[in-house]
Amino acid sequence: MLMQMLGDGGVAAPRLVDARLGPEALRTAFAQLTDDLVALTRAGLVHADLSPYNLLWWRDRVWIIDFPQAVDLVLNPHGFDLLHHDLVTVCTWFARRGVACDAEALFAALLAEAW
Cα separation, 40 vs 64, whole angstroms: 11
Active site residue 49: yes
Contact criterion met (CB below 8 Å) for 71 and 78:
yes
Cα separation, 92 vs 75, whole angstroms: 27
Q: Which of 18, 35, 36, 49 is catalytic?
A: 49
Active site residues per annotation = 49
